[in-house]
């Protein structure tokens, strides 16, 4: 390939990168603006066939992806003449450029963690596990959103996994491989959370938590050996961030965050993270503890594969939209009862209790109520008191008070940004007088997830002969 060559209408402008498995070219086409990127695999006699099979996987997966967290697919060519993939050229730089400046400020590490966790949540919702999360595969767009690139080692739930079928060695980048990948289990989305934990640890400390292993034996150590706590290398690491990172790096996936969405929610609300012994650790576990873990992993039964959708469904994020006005209070018990039933169906579920303080576009709203208490703080206390009646573990519930001119838009945005799977909200004719009631229809129509509308029990009416007669259910908001 040379500058000026034309492949299926795409003109090669300049070679941007030569890696171990592919060339990357900036290309243009008469009917296309701006320029795009063409990726062509390096195929030579005697080369590892991983590059070929990985390229085939990326050709299959990339056209199925949508949204801002992956490059847009444009075209591809097969091996009959010239294999290539043409995709969106993402403006911005990869996180590899930031590694040189590690350790980074805590605020920047947290911002990166939230952004990449959102990208992973979006990717997993499209039935894809990336399986090669590392700084060079994470791009930051000019608008601040993070995108993931290079899907050659990825797995799609609805496609054959050619890499698993044809190769018997762990596939990925040594420092970032999850324990499951080392065991050749490519079906767990929590593997991406482990790799993200490695990235955050590295950016926060300037040290890779598991070094740079170069042999199968060195790789296998992370099956039972935990890393040194990040606070040992960076004293500025707050306990809650150490809690999050070490939870991501747990050798057993069941001890990590169940979903990327739950990880993002914790990073965005650090004051509500429930700390464990991870937060206060100053040294890695003792040799005896590591040895015990080694025996347990040797005796562990074979894990049964589950689909990505099934794993996500077992750990949904549920949002309860609360109204504390006089009319809305009548729905409190009915709403709590419904939320309680929803939470019992998925033990790994996370509950976000949300209330909205409506603000004005034109006037300055008072920060205090009539008794002099701070309104935002009072609402937060009310949200927590409502949630306490559910008797759920504290680590399973978070409280949120939003301030917005448009409460419906605020609730919908919260659901979208936090990958909420189900919204539970009160609705009915009586709710027209409340803050949330009039907007339940908008939420039902526009929310990016399931919406459950709760009505209070209808009182029975007395018939002419003294018998109780059930009233007709009110049409409410017509949903």
What pLDDT is stored for residue 303 in this prediction? 62
Tokens representing 260?
């990327």
Q: How far is CA 421 from CA 72, 209, 451, 455, in A?
A: 25, 33, 9, 20
Specify whether the CB–CB gap between 264 and 418 falls below 8 A: yes
Domain locations along the chain: 6-88, 94-311, 316-464
Q: Residue 299: is its pLDDT beyond 90?
A: no
What pLDDT is stored for residue 339 in this prediction? 95
Topology (CATH level 3) of domain 94-311: Transferase(Phosphotransferase); domain 1 (1.10.510)
pLDDT per position as a tens digit, 54-106 = 999 999 999 999 999 999 999 999 887 889 999 999 998 899 999 999 999 99
Mean pLDDT estimate for the chain: 86
Range in 130-144, 252-266, 327-341, 355-369 the model is least confident about: 355-369
Using DSSP's 3-state secondary structure scheme, residue 470 falls into: strand
- How far is 297 from 185, CA to CA, in rounded Å? 14
Q: Using pLDDT thresholds of 50, 70 and 90, give the confidence band for residue 330.
A: low
Axis crossing angle, helix 106-125 with helix 260-268, rounded to the nearest 10: 150
- How far is 270 from 138, CA to CA, in rounded Å? 23
Q: Do domains 94-311 and 316-464 have the same CATH topology?
A: no
Specify whether the CB–CB gap between 207 and 275 falls below 8 A: no
Percent of the chain with pLDDT over 70: 86
Which residue, 242, 267, 234, is CA-closest to 105? 234
Q: Using pLDDT thresholds of 50, 70 and 90, give the confidence band for residue 177.
A: very high
Specify whether the CB–CB gap between 318 and 350 falls below 8 A: yes
Q: Which residue matches tokens 């309680």?
A: 340
- How far is 443 from 436, CA to CA, in rounded Å? 10
What is the model's pTM?
0.87
Q: What is the mean pLDDT of residues 206-228?
A: 91
| 250-264, 325-339, 421-435: which is most confident | 250-264
Cα(first)–Cα(last) distance of the chain, in Å?
A: 59
Which residue, 455, 115, 93, 68, is CA-closest to 260? 115
User: Higher model confidence: residue 463 or residue 196?
Assistant: 196
Range in 139-148, 222-231, 427-436, 440-449 the model is least confident about: 427-436
**CATH H-level, domain 6-88: superfamily:** Phosphorylase Kinase; domain 1 (3.30.200.20)
Specify whether the CB–CB gap between 309 and 157 falls below 8 A: yes
Specify whether the CB–CB gap between 87 and 62 falls below 8 A: yes
Q: Residue 475: is its pLDDT beyond 50?
A: no
Q: Using pLDDT thresholds of 50, 70 and 90, give the confidence band for residue 424.
A: very high
- Kind of pairing, strands 10-18 and 22-29? antiparallel
Give CA 86 to chain center in angstroms. Answer: 27
Topology (CATH level 3) of domain 316-464: Rossmann fold (3.40.50)
User: Higher model confidence: residue 288 or residue 27?
Assistant: 27
Cβ neighbours of residue 156 closer than 8 Å, sequence gap 6 or more:
57, 60, 61, 64, 127, 128
Q: Residue 435: is its pLDDT beyond 70?
A: no
Q: Using pLDDT thresholds of 50, 70 and 90, give the confidence band for residue 152.
A: very high
User: Higher model confidence: residue 354 or residue 307?
Assistant: 354
Using DSSP's 3-state secondary structure scheme, residue 100 falls into: coil
Range in 155-164, 268-277, 313-322, 455-464 the model is least confident about: 455-464
């Amino acid at each position: 390939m040379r500058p000026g060559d034309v492949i299926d209408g795409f003109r090669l402008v300049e070679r941007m990168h030569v890696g171990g498995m592919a060339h990357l070219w900036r290309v243009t086409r008469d009917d296309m603006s701006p320029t795009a990127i063409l990726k062509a695999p390096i195929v030579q006699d005697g080369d590892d066939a991983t590059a070929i099979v990985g390229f085939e996987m990326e050709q299959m997966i990339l056209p199925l992806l949508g949204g801002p967290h992956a490059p847009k697919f444009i075209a591809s060519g097969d091996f009959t003449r010239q294999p290539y993939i043409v995709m969106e050229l993402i403006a911005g730089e990869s996180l590899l450029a930031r590694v040189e400046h590690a350790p980074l400020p805590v605020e920047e590490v947290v911002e990166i963690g939230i952004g990449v966790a959102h990208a992973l949540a979006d990717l997993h919702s499209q039935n894809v596990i990336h399986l090669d999360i590392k700084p060079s595969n994470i791009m930051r767009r000019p608008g601040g959103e993070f995108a993931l690139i290079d899907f050659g080692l990825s797995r799609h739930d609805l496609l054959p996994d050619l890499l698993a079928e044809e190769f018997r060695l762990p596939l990925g980048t040594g420092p970032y491989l999850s324990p499951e990948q080392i065991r050749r289990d490519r079906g767990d989305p929590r593997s991406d959370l482990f790799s993200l934990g490695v990235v955050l640890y590295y950016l926060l400390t300037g040290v890779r938590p598991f070094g740079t292993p170069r042999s199968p034996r060195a790789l296998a150590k992370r099956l039972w050996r935990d890393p040194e706590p990040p606070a040992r290398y960076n004293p500025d690491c707050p306990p809650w961030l150490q809690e999050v990172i070490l939870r991501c790096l747990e050798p057993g996936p069941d001890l990590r965050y169940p979903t990327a969405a739950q990880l993002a929610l914790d990073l965005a609300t650090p004051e509500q993270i429930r700390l464990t012994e991870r937060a206060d650790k100053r040294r890695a576990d003792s040799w005896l503890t590591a040895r015990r873990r080694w025996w347990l992993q040797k005796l562990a039964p074979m894990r049964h594969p589950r689909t990505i959708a099934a794993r996500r469904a077992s750990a949904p994020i549920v949002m309860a939209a609360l109204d504390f006005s006089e009319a809305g209070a009548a729905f409190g018990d009915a709403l709590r009862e419904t939320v309680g039933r929803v939470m019992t169906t998925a033990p790994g579920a996370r509950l976000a209790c949300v209330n909205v303080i409506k603000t004005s576009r034109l006037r300055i709203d008072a920060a205090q109520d009539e008794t002099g208490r701070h309104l935002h703080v009072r609402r937060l206390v009310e949200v927590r008191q409502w949630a306490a009646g559910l008797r759920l573990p504290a680590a399973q519930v978070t409280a949120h008070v939003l301030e917005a001119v448009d409460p419906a838009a605020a609730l919908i945005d919260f659901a979208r940004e936090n990958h909420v799977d189900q919204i539970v909200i009160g609705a009915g004719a009586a709710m027209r007088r409340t803050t949330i009631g009039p907007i339940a229809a908008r939420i039902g129509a526009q929310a990016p997830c399931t919406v459950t509308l709760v009505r209070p029990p209808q009182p029975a009416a007395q018939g002419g002969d003294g018998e109780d007669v059930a009233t007709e259910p009110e049409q409410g908001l017509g949903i």
